[in-house]
């Protein structure tokens, strides 16, 4: 029988083997490229079509080639063509000896096609015959992740890592799962897994914030008032150092631990009159983190007294012509843990030196606390002169507003067309003609620090962006980043959201950045937006459905009722009070929000507009009354696009097993 099969097999010319090998190599490369997360759906589909083309070219020369059939099975699966995928997988099964490799390939195809039970059966079959098969165990981990069994997936990724099986797939899976995990106990294996992931250059460290904080809380019993801390143990703890250096602080307990460590370092250095070399890395790390969070951590009277003495000593030393930079470093390190150096009385003396003049170790702290704020202030002055054409004394005023968020990068990818992207997303629902040639004029209100505006300007070649915000400090940061990134097709305008009509321009796209939940009157807001958009333009609004923020509104009422100034000392005092009342459930939702741990985030949370709950039915009525209709709806959590024209219908269409979306973006157009 075997002889019969061999005798009927077609003979492949030796020259074709080279061609087949090259084609399979191209197919593999295209398949891998299609899995890159930054690829758009259109780009992924195009790459998968290339995989199919290369594989079909191979089959034209060798119709039984198992690798080509496997490539076609994978590409069909990823394109949602499961019927065709099974056909090619059947050929692979017929032409290949039953093996673990074949079972794993079939399991992954079932996994991609969301046939989870079939995939699980095959993975378990492999493990039954080879309990140490890491690929099958990894498949089970991915399966639990797909089913959103976060704990089950985490335990399996963790198990693989403890056994020395660690690769990009494991890291990607762990990074996706870890935000859903809270440690209810500490053990060394958990800590080792966490540190291994954090040491990887390409990892999204912020995804590990919650788990890292919960692990520290369990390690030092930070949720118990009577817990005792050992200073020597703390300064030898790599986990604590990593949490601070990667800016992962996200709980009151861990923030309090860091401030206690800061206080101990300050008092010890002040009492001994020296900062030992062994503690300098900790002081610098805490200082850089404090600057990152906007110096919002509270202090006590003893710390304030020491800081006052430090400031005087720094000023005296800086004025002394015989002093050197080395004479200043220790005091600057300590002071930089508490206050922005640029805001200090001695900043002009420190700025006589270039950043590169200082020792390398202190440069990151000085860059974040002294030199960058100085550059931002200079940019703010330039913008004020250009925007207001002013040379008045207040031109040089520095805004006290805390800049938030301070971002450092935008997504980098191929430059594309905004028109094509919108057409691919919403098709004929768009109000304009797809054949239009001129660029789209985009207005982004309350653009903040400009990340969204600059992302669009960098990503699309066919748009002109105007970013508007009432806060000059935010616009200065946006312009500062635009210069750093070399982006010059964004124009900044200092203007509050309710005065944008003064621009005397109608835009093709108007992006209303503030949540509709913060609008005083949504009907007025929608009618106002119609004055900003062209007759065939698109309005983009954001809203959270069925959500309440009673704690936030209570806090805003307290600050307003007591006439508290929106300043850093006020923020520190409020945060201290809330942290001390950590056990009070009244503030739990606020303490869990990432922005609470930034001075700028607190500024908006404590002093911003009242938050109002919104429902789908009410919004549908308001949109209709304003003479608008829905083009499409995007769920923030899943990024899925819906073409339904009614929010009530869209809400009802959500799967019962799925958590109801909390935030959505709605694209609107004017009724013709």
CATH superfamily label, 418-547+613-670: Vaccinia Virus protein VP39 (3.40.50.150)
Q: Cα separation of 76 and 342, whole Å?
A: 58
pLDDT band (50, 70, 90) for residue 484? very high
Q: How far apart are CA 390 and CA 379, in angstroms?
A: 14
pLDDT, tens only, 107-118: 877 777 678 898
CA angle 400, 248, 347 (to 5 degrees): 35
What is the token pair recorded at 174?
């762990």
Is it the case that residue 351 has pLDDT exceeding 60?
A: yes
Across the range 547-562, mean pLDDT stands at 93
Residue 214 has pLDDT above 70, yes or no: yes
**Residues 448 and 423 sit within 8 Å (Cβ to Cβ):** no
581 — pLDDT class (breaks 50, 70, 90): confident
| Two structure tokens written together for 627 | 């003479």
Residues 459-482, mean pLDDT to the nearest whole number? 95
Per-residue pLDDT tens digits for 157-212: 999 999 999 988 899 999 999 999 999 999 999 999 999 999 998 899 999 999 99
Tell me the average pLDDT across 309-315. Answer: 93
Q: Please, which residues have CB within 8 angstroms of residue 422's CB and are 6 or more apart in sequence?
A: 430, 538
| Alpha carbon distance 124, 645 (integer Å) | 45
- Convert 50-60 to b/e letters by CB count within 10 Å (16 or more is b): bbbebbebbbe
pTM of the model: 0.84
User: Higher-confidence residue: 63 or 517?
Assistant: 517
pLDDT higher than threshold 70 for residue 38? no
- Provide CB contacts within 8 A for 30, sequence distance 6+: 47, 48, 50, 51, 54
Rounded Cα distance between 475 and 94, Å, is 64
Structure tokens at 314: 């720094």
Instruction: List b or e across 552-583, with b for residues whose CB sees 16 or more CB atoms inside 10 angstroms.
Output: beebbeebeeeebebebebbbebbbebbeeee
- Provide the b/e sequence for 349-382 (b: ≥16 CB within 10 Å): ebeeeeeeebeeebeebbbbbbbbbbbbbebbbe
Give residue-wise pLDDT tens across range 591-648: 999 999 999 999 999 999 999 999 999 999 999 999 999 999 999 888 889 999 999 9
In contact, 440 and 463? CB cutoff 8 Å: yes
* Whole-angstrom distance, CA of residue 558 vs CA of residue 567: 15
Q: Does residue 486 have a pLDDT over 60?
A: yes
Domain segments of the chain as ranges:
2-196, 249-374, 418-547+613-670, 550-607
Share of the chain above pLDDT 70, in %: 92
Homologous superfamily, domain 2-196? Tetratricopeptide repeat domain (1.25.40.10)
The pLDDT, as a whole number, for residue 9 is 47
Q: Residue 561 above 50 pLDDT?
A: yes
Strands, sheet with 628-635, edge to edge from the N-terminal-most edge strand: 490-494, 463-469, 440-445, 507-515, 533-544, 663-670, 628-635, 641-642
The conformation of residue 466, written as its DSSP 8-state character, comes to E
With cut-offs at 50, 70 and 90, classify the pLDDT of residue 8.
very low
Given a cut of 90, whether residue 15 has pLDDT beyond it is no
Whether the per-residue pLDDT at 97 is higher than 60: the answer is no
Q: Is the model's pLDDT at 660 over the cut of 70?
A: no
**The pLDDT of residue 60:** 87
Rounded distance between C-alpha atoms, residue 31 and residue 47, angstroms: 7
Pick from 183, 300, 302: which is nearest to 243 by CA? 183
Q: How confident is the model at residue 324 (pLDDT cuts 50, 70, 90)?
A: confident
Whether residue 4 is predicted with pLDDT greater than 70 in this model: the reply is no
């Amino acid at each position: 029988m075997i002889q019969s099969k061999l005798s009927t097999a077609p003979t492949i010319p030796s020259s074709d083997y080279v061609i087949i090998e090259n084609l399979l190599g191209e197919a593999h490369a295209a398949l891998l490229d299609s899995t890159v997360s930054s690829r758009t759906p259109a780009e992924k589909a195009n790459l998968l079509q290339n995989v199919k083309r290369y594989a079909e070219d191979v089959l034209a020369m060798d119709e039984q080639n198992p690798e080509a059939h496997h490539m076609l099975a994978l590409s069909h699966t990823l394109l949602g063509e499961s019927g065709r995928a099974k056909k090619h997988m059947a050929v692979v099964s017929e032409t290949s000896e039953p093996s673990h490799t074949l079972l794993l390939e079939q399991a992954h195809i079932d996994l991609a096609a969301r046939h989870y039970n079939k995939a699980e059966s095959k993975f378990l079959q492999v493990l039954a015959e080879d309990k140490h098969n890491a690929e099958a165990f990894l498949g089970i981990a991915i399966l639990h992740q797909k089913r959103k069994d976060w704990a089950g997936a985490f335990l399996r990724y963790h198990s693989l890592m403890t056994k020395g099986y660690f690769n990009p797939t494991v890291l990607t899976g762990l990074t996706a799962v870890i935000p859903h995990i809270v440690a209810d106990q500490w053990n060394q294996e958990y800590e080792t897994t966490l540190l291994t992931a954090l040491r990887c250059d390409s990892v999204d460290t912020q995804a590990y914030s919650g788990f890292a904080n919960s692990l520290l809380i369990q390690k030092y019993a930070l949720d118990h008032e009577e817990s005792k801390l050992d200073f020597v143990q703390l300064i030898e703890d790599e986990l604590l150092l990593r949490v601070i250096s990667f800016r992962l602080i996200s709980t009151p307990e861990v923030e309090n631990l860091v401030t206690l460590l800061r206080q101990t370092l300050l008092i010890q250095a002040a009492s001994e009159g020296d900062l030992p070399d062994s503690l300098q890395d900790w002081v610098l790390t805490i200082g850089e983190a404090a600057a990152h969070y906007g110096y919002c951590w509270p202090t006590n009277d003893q710390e304030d007294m020491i800081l006052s003495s430090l400031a005087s000593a720094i000023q005296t030393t800086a004025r002394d012509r015989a002093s050197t930079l080395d004479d200043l470093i220790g005091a600057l390190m300590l002071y930089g843990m508490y206050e922005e150096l640029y805001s200090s009385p001695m900043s002009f003396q420190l700025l006589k030196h270039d950043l590169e003049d200082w020792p390398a170790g202190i440069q990151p702290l000085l860059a974040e606390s002294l030199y960058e704020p100085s550059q931002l202030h200079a940019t703010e002055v330039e913008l004020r002169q250009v925007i207001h054409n002013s040379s008045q004394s207040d031109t040089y005023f520095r805004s006290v507003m805390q800049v938030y968020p301070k971002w450092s990068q935008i997504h980098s990818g191929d430059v594309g067309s905004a028109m094509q992207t919108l057409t691919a997303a919403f098709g004929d629902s768009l109000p304009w003609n797809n054949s239009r040639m001129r660029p789209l004029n985009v207005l982004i209100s309350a653009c903040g620090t400009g990340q969204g505006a600059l992302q669009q300007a960098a990503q699309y070649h066919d748009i002109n962006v105007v970013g508007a915000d009432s806060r000059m400090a935010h616009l200065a940061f946006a312009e500062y980043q635009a210069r750093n990134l070399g982006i010059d097709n964004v124009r900044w305008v200092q203007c509050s959201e309710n005065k944008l009509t003064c621009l005397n321009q109608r835009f093709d796209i108007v992006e209303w950045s503030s949540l509709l939940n913060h609008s005083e009157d949504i009907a007025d807001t929608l009618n106002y937006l119609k004055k900003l958009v062209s007759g065939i333009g698109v309005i983009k609004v954001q809203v959270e459905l069925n959500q309440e923020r009673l704690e936030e509104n209570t806090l805003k009422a307290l600050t307003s009722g007591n006439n508290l100034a929106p300043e850093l000392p006020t923020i520190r005092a409020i945060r201290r009070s809330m942290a001390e009342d950590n056990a009070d459930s009244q503030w739990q939702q606020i303490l869990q929000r990432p922005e609470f741990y930034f001075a700028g985030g607190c500024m908006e949370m404590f002093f911003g507009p009242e938050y109002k709950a919104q429902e789908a039915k009410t919004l549908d009525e308001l949109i209709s009354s304003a003479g608008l209709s829905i083009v499409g709806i995007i769920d923030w959590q899943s990024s899925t696009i819906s073409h339904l024209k009614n929010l009530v219908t869209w809400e009802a269409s959500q799967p019962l097993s799925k958590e109801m979306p909390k935030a959505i973006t709605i694209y609107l157009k004017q009724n013709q």
